[in-house]
Structure 1
Amino acid sequence: MPRPDWRLVPAAAALWLAAFLGYLLHWALAAAVGLAAAAVAVVLLVRARTSQRVHPGWPLLVAGVLAVLPVSERLREAATDPLRELAAAGAVLEFRFEVVERPRPIRAAGYGATPSGVSGVVIAGRAVGEPSGGAVVVFAPADQWVDLLPGQHATATARLAPAEEGGLTTAVVKVRGPPSDVDPPGAAQRVAAELRQGLRDAARAVLGPEAAGLLPALVVGDTDGLLPEVRADFDTAGMTHLLAVSGANLAIVGFFALLLVRLFGAGPWVASAVAAAAMVGFVVLAGPEPSVLRAAVMGLIGLLALALGREKSALPALAVAVLGLVAVDPGMAVAFGFVLSVLATAGLVLLAPRWARALERRRVPPGIAEALAVPAAAQLVTAPVVAGMSGQVSLVAVAANLVAAPVVAPATVLGVLAALVTPVWTWGGQALVTVAGPETRWLIAVAEHAAGVPGAALDWPSGWWGGLAAAAAIAVLAVAVRLPKVRALVALGLVGVLLVVVPVRVVLPGWPPPGWAVVACDVGQGDAVVLATADTGRAVLVDAGPEPGPVGDCLDRLGVRSLAAVVFSHLHADHIGGLAAGLERDPAAVVVGPGRAPGWAWERVRGAAADAAVPVVEVTAGSRFGWPGLTIDVLHPEEGGAQAAELDGSEINNASLVLLAHTAAGRVLLTGDIELGAQAELVAGGVDLGAAVVKVPHHGSRYTDEAFLAAVGPEVALVSVGRRNRYGHPAQATMDVLARLGARTARTDTGGDVAVVGGVPLGVTSRGRRAPPRCSAGRPPWGRCGPRPRRGS
């Protein structure tokens, strides 16, 4: 086996380190590392006593020069860009910029979210003209900006906000209105957009919603239609890399083209030219964005490694790619996607062949040996980065990717062909998508079953420090297994984990706890609270979270067969998104306050209730309703308040229903998302807010008044919040106030479903975070555990 050629690796590592430190800390560090690398290179060259044509000192010298000139200079220009000063002052100005990457949807339940859960788009752009040409990130309304394509110029009135220090992004641009003076897109971008739309249309026409959302993501990284629960399964199963364009996509397309032309007897040069053309075409199809261009380079390296079968040739090519990409775009050095691509390619060319040969020496058939070695090597080298990205370590990733691997290439090729064919031959495109359907559904099934394994993923610190900790742990294990005595200790430790830790995580206490009165369901970034009645299997649901699946699963776990009522505190998407799951349990009524904003949300609630023949009942302050074992008083808002169809987010939040429930666990105050205004109004009005349990307002946001919480005086505080949400909920200041008041705090992001049981003191039980829950009676024919779709929907 030839030894890998490492001569260019120190140069690539030096330039990468320079950009990494310059980006995260200060641009001057990039220059310092570059100067140090150049100095070392000069010393090596002066002392050189070798006849090598490419002495390692020369590429190291080149890397040092690149670090000092283009890399540190670009970082310095970004750090001193005039837009930073304007952004710090929160300036509002007419802004013209060029779109660099396709708009990406922001799926965040809450104010501004549409019925599909898309609240806006984020666009990577570049300022055009005065006062600078710096890189910007634009946040804009989805319906008005989602169709922009790379290369287009647009103008809008926007408010600037500061970007993170040290990076290439000079300002965050927040836009509320539509773009103006929009240039027409280029021909290539327009054709690529039509092809991508054709693939989406064909997938929606012949596949179910899960597969229709996954196929475009698998083929061209288009995740616009990907269902959140499918993404969650892929994250837990360690299959997230399949949802983004990577070098693997390019390699698949290139090899398919290569195989096709070689079948017709083409020579190596013609075949290579056709394969390269196919890969260039795929770049145009997916969009010539930085992430796709990076994947194209990595895909070409993967082709080179596999075609030559020589690690010695592939490693220098990988180093050259790193040098070129980081020099052109220093931001690559801290991009998780770039790191994943480099590490995965390195694992492919360095570890996988060695492991495959080792397995073959142990009499494993060659094909099976390669199938085992490739995903194992890729998973090992990328595990630290994935841990830092997701905040978890998947224990099933190798097995899941091994089972998924055989169908990835056929599904990708069929999807690409469908995208090319659909615009000119709709039936043909749909036929290709139909053939890709079983492969796509297989990937969904693999991710679902892998994610459903108890303890499939372990929590891990997120961010760069978490990634470094994972890398250190892997390095220690790698060294340990080479030492016989230490290997025995490691084996004993793993046995201990299997016998003690795993059962503790998997075999959790029975759920639900006997005598539960209140349960805050773990529905992510949203609210869903279940109040028990004296009738077994019957309860009241207050808010329904952002999606039907999680709240439906929570009700299933609690054994709630029917609902006395579904109550909505207000109409934001993170409270009404699971309405369908509530309507499936035949509620007697849907209860709402006087608020009618956002308008689309009110129409959705009213329409869904009418379709299910469930009456909608409006309540205001002073209303009372109840059932055996449960009575609810409405404390806020007053009659006639906040009925406009369009209000801003704070006005909608402050119009939330505030409910005082009398339960077996005592008084429970449910506060919706009220902010400081409504809280102060309730305190000033002398309303009796005292309660043993409080659902903390607005997911524990910083807009929570200490006087309000003191007036409640809770023994238990429930915080319904999503893990690693982008709002910073719950605020540390709010948690500190609850601690000072002596409240026991239970959070759904750390504890999963949380139940309160009556007693002195009150009992608080957390179900514990597990892998995404599954249907208790098996997978229904219409898809996941969420509601069955209505005919025609």
Structure 2
Amino acid sequence: MGALAVRWEPVASFGALAAVVAAVLSISLAGVRWPRRRRAALTAVAVLVVGAGVGVVAVTRLQAVRDGPVARLAEQRAVVTLTARVTDDPARIAGRFGDQVLVRVEVSHRQAVLVFGDTTWERVAIGERVRLTGRLAPSDDDEVAATVSPRGPPVRTAAASLGWRASEALRTSIRQSVAHRPQAQAALVPALVDGDDTDLPTELTEDFRTTGLTHLTAVSGTNLTLVVGFLLVVARWAGVRGRWLAGVGAAGIVGFVLLARTEPSVLRAAAMGAVALLGLGRGGWHRGVRGLGAAVVVLLLLDPRLAVQPGFALSVLATGGILLAAPAWRDAMGRWLPRWLAEAVAVPAAAQLACTPLVAAISGQVSLVAVLANLLVAPLVGPATVLGLLGGLVGLASDRAAQLVGILAGWCVAWIIWVAQRGATLPGAVFEWSTGAGALAILALASLAVMLVGPYLLRHRAIGVAGSVLVVAVVWFGPPTPRWPVDGWVLAACDVGQGDALAVRVGPSSAVVVDAGPDGRSVDGCLRRLDVKRVPLLVLTHFHADHVDGIAGVLRGRSVDAVEVTRLADPPGGVAEVERAARGAGLTPAVAPYGVTRSVGDVTLQVLWPRPDSPAVGPGDGSTANAASVVLLVEVAGVRLLLTGDLEPPGQAALARALPGLRVDILKVPHHGSPHQDLDWLESLGARFAVVSVGADNDYGHPAPQVLEALSGAGTEVLRTDRDGDVLFAVRGGRLVALTRD
């Protein structure tokens, strides 16, 4: 109901919900004789009434934002003076004319406004009241009434409350207690305790995502359970009992929310963690299930937009899996395993299995290593989280003592980091799964079947051991798949969505990689399938996100010798991403040398563009980045490749003049097949094959029909990653052929 109200127009949603509720109430009032049917009817009415209530709340909130005074002023682009309360931490973003700071504030009547300020806004603190003057503009977010660009710095009118100031002091103390540890450890400890993952290296974030450990780096019910559980243990040790102990738990939940910020994800985590704590108490899973239902209803009433957020669904599924399936799995394995080990296996397995269909729908992947990784890190997640919190608390009194505690927390997370990094490199860590309705339905039914049948099978030692060995073998060696890549391959165009990622084979398990695509998981998966373990050269043609944001995926688990980039350091966000990732791998990006012919393994390559007299600094908005794309002429196994990045028509025309009569065997079509091409030049290349790296159903209309028609008319066979998946070019029997995985 909440999803319908959020996705549909408010009036239509309200009418539909009212009609459903009226119909159900009419049926129930007609009278039912049998108690069981009466109970079923009343249950159905209750469920639909609650759903209708969620829908009504959603409609009311959306209308309040859209029709409120702030939204009306925003439509008029009015200049206003606002007094507001800061509701989120400032975030620095790269703007067109330099860095800006994004801050979310709340004005009267709970109207949210996004402030796009200068760097002076970075000093405001959550909970403070500020006054600003600026011009309002409409917002694309239904939950935000307007955006505003203030004139000058904020004027503080009231300090944050004591709770918010204490929260900020503790967060700062947690960070300082581990600041002397290695970067990854210093970033992971705050993420475990309060979800502060701002300094987490990009490549480590990708490793956590691959191994199913992302929930550790974000605020989740696990965080709250560990933190509040620690407080309850201390309280019991101090002699607190009965209702006072419940009060300590409630105070711990409130304190955790303040520490991790009152964002929807934090409130969701607090509710799920409270349900988990409830399930651990008297009454067992029965109370936990009832608590889960109540938590879902309350959360949707507080924020109906959660109904369409994947994170909320994943939290509910994971908690439900733990409450409903984990006890049966634990009891089954407890027949031949120690209870503590059976529970350690059952809890992550049940949570992961319940979430698997939705994870596959979101990412197109299924993780096999997630359960094993969670099992390996489970013994140290609790100590790391508790020690991180303890280090922050001690740091309020003594920096030196806090650093000693921080060393212990760092040692704990070092093991977690090692498991994530090692697990992400395993051949069977993840495998692709179709996001079509049929494939997802099969996966959902299979997950349900495993969940139901699992306890009957796992109660037998032989079956349990055999199944565990099989899973470990598949993870370690990879699932059986048709041979890919084929012998004699020379070029692979990876299916990474709307972006570029190419691999040119230079030897066994070795390739030159050109561009990294927009997503590290996609390019990492493609290189795994190609068995690329060493990258002697990574070339990033320009700094747009669809070519560089996946760099962490290329660096993960591979030996990368050098990174080369274009002369034009623009846009700044992409430049910073590349420098940060390269620095984490001990590399320094260099400018691709123009005109130099060199050999890398079995490959000969030459940089044809950009020229050395081209600008090295752009306007800062990335508008000229395409024109400065690195263009490579490559020869491997007697095959000539032209890899063009996103080169625009003026650059194409310049190359046509500089290299008349250039002929190639394979052309990487510039700019994902954009209509802006020098078609005469593309046709003149005489390519046997052309490949378009493009995302399915993209908003740009790529590739343009006229480009495809021109190439086909010139006798070039065109392949597309959006339809063909990974595209492989190979020399077989002395003949160049194209192969696809779809």
Query: Normalization by structure 2: what TM-score?
Result: 0.75
Against the structure 1 CA distance between its residues 695 and 366, is the aligned structure 2 distance closer, same or farther, given a 3 Å change threshold?
same
Of 353, 360, 382 in structure 2, the residue corresponding to residue 380 of structure 1 is 353
In the aligned structure 2, how far is the partner of 1:560 from the partner of 1:634?
22
Matched, 1:195 2:170: yes
Counterpart of 1:733 in 2: which secondary structure? coil
Is the contact between residue 19 and residue 30 of structure 1 (CA under 8 Å) also seen in structure 2? no
In the aligned structure 2, how far is the partner of 1:90 from the partner of 1:762?
62
Deviations 1:744-773 (A, max 9, x none): 43659986695655986424578x89xxxx
Q: How does 1:245-394 map to 2 (within 5 A)?
A: 245-360=219-334, 362=335, 364-394=337-367
1:331 CA displacement: 0.5
Counterpart of 1:650 in 2: which secondary structure? coil
In the aligned structure 2, how far is the partner of 1:84 from the partner of 1:93?
13
Q: How does 1:636-655 map to 2 (within 5 A)?
A: 636-637=609-610, 640-644=613-617, 646-655=619-628
Is the contact between residue 518 and residue 757 of structure 1 (CA under 8 Å) also seen in structure 2? no
Aligned to 2:464: none
Matched, 1:226 2:192: no
In the aligned structure 2, how far is the partner of 1:613 from the partner of 1:311?
51
Query: Normalization by structure 1: what TM-score?
Result: 0.71
Against the structure 1 CA distance between its residues 198 and 765, is the aligned structure 2 distance closer, same or farther, given a 3 Å change threshold?
farther
Q: How does 1:106-125 map to 2 (within 5 A)?
A: 125=104
Matched, 1:22 2:9: no
Is the contact between residue 225 and residue 273 of structure 2 (CA under 8 Å) also seen in structure 1? yes
In the aligned structure 1, how far is the partner of 2:355 from the partner of 2:565?
48
In the aligned structure 2, how far is the partner of 1:613 from the partner of 1:479?
50
Is the contact between residue 161 and residue 174 of structure 1 (CA under 8 Å) also seen in structure 2? no
In the aligned structure 1, how far is the partner of 2:442 from the partner of 2:101?
33
Aligned to 2:414: 441
The AA in structure 2 aligned to 1:255 is G
For structure 1, the residue ranges without an aligned partner over 5 or more in a row are 1-17, 485-493, 770-793
In the aligned structure 2, how far is the partner of 1:69 from the partner of 1:729?
33
Counterpart of 2:180 in 1: which secondary structure? helix
1:245 CA displacement: 1.2
Matched, 1:397 2:370: yes
Matched, 1:36 2:20: yes
The AA in structure 1 aligned to 2:6 is Y
Of 378, 395, 403 in structure 2, the residue corresponding to residue 422 of structure 1 is 395
1:649 CA displacement: 0.8
Q: How does 1:480-629 map to 2 (within 5 A)?
A: 506=480, 509=483, 513-514=487-488, 569-570=541-542, 595=568, 597=570, 623=595, 625-626=597-598
In the aligned structure 1, how far is the partner of 2:392 from the partner of 2:24?
51
In the aligned structure 1, how far is the partner of 2:587 from the partner of 2:370?
45
Aligned to 1:70: 57
In the aligned structure 1, how far is the partner of 2:647 from the partner of 2:534?
28
Deviations 1:15-34 (A, max 9, x none): xxx11112223432355235
Counterpart of 2:200 in 1: which secondary structure? coil
In the aligned structure 2, how far is the partner of 1:738 from the partner of 1:34?
51
1:418 CA displacement: 1.9
In the aligned structure 1, how far is the partner of 2:360 from the partner of 2:669?
31
Against the structure 1 CA distance between its residues 544 and 466, is the aligned structure 2 distance closer, same or farther, given a 3 Å change threshold?
closer
Against the structure 1 CA distance between its residues 223 and 95, is the aligned structure 2 distance closer, same or farther, given a 3 Å change threshold?
farther
Aligned to 2:385: 412
Aligned to 1:459: 432
The AA in structure 1 aligned to 2:8 is L
Counterpart of 1:225 in 2: which secondary structure? coil
Is the contact between residue 672 and residue 702 of structure 2 (CA under 8 Å) also seen in structure 1? no
The AA in structure 1 aligned to 2:215 is H
Counterpart of 1:205 in 2: which secondary structure? coil
Against the structure 1 CA distance between its residues 150 and 517, is the aligned structure 2 distance closer, same or farther, given a 3 Å change threshold?
same
Q: How does 1:773-792 map to 2 (within 5 A)?
A: none
Deviations 1:261-287 (A, max 9, x none): 112222212222222222221111111
Deviations 1:338-391 (A, max 9, x none): 22222333333333334434445x455433343333223222322233223332
In the aligned structure 2, how far is the partner of 1:604 from the partner of 1:312?
50
Is the contact between residue 716 and residue 746 of structure 1 (CA under 8 Å) also seen in structure 2? no
Against the structure 1 CA distance between its residues 736 and 392, is the aligned structure 2 distance closer, same or farther, given a 3 Å change threshold?
farther
In the aligned structure 2, how far is the partner of 1:178 from the partner of 1:748?
45
Counterpart of 1:649 in 2: which secondary structure? coil
Against the structure 1 CA distance between its residues 30 and 380, is the aligned structure 2 distance closer, same or farther, given a 3 Å change threshold?
farther
In the aligned structure 2, how far is the partner of 1:476 from the partner of 1:580?
38
1:690 CA displacement: 4.2
- Identity among equivalent positions (%) equals 34
Against the structure 1 CA distance between its residues 598 and 63, is the aligned structure 2 distance closer, same or farther, given a 3 Å change threshold?
closer
Matched, 1:669 2:642: yes
Against the structure 1 CA distance between its residues 650 and 481, is the aligned structure 2 distance closer, same or farther, given a 3 Å change threshold?
same
1:302 CA displacement: 1.9
In the aligned structure 1, how far is the partner of 2:133 from the partner of 2:565?
41
For structure 2, the residue ranges without an aligned partner over 5 or more in a row are 458-466
Deviations 1:613-666 (A, max 9, x none): 99978866xx45455987666654456332446443121321234343455444
> RMSD across aligned C-alpha pairs, in angstroms?
5.6
Is the contact between residue 352 and residue 377 of structure 1 (CA under 8 Å) also seen in structure 2? yes
The AA in structure 2 aligned to 1:33 is L
Counterpart of 2:625 in 1: which secondary structure? helix
In the aligned structure 2, how far is the partner of 1:368 from the partner of 1:615?
47
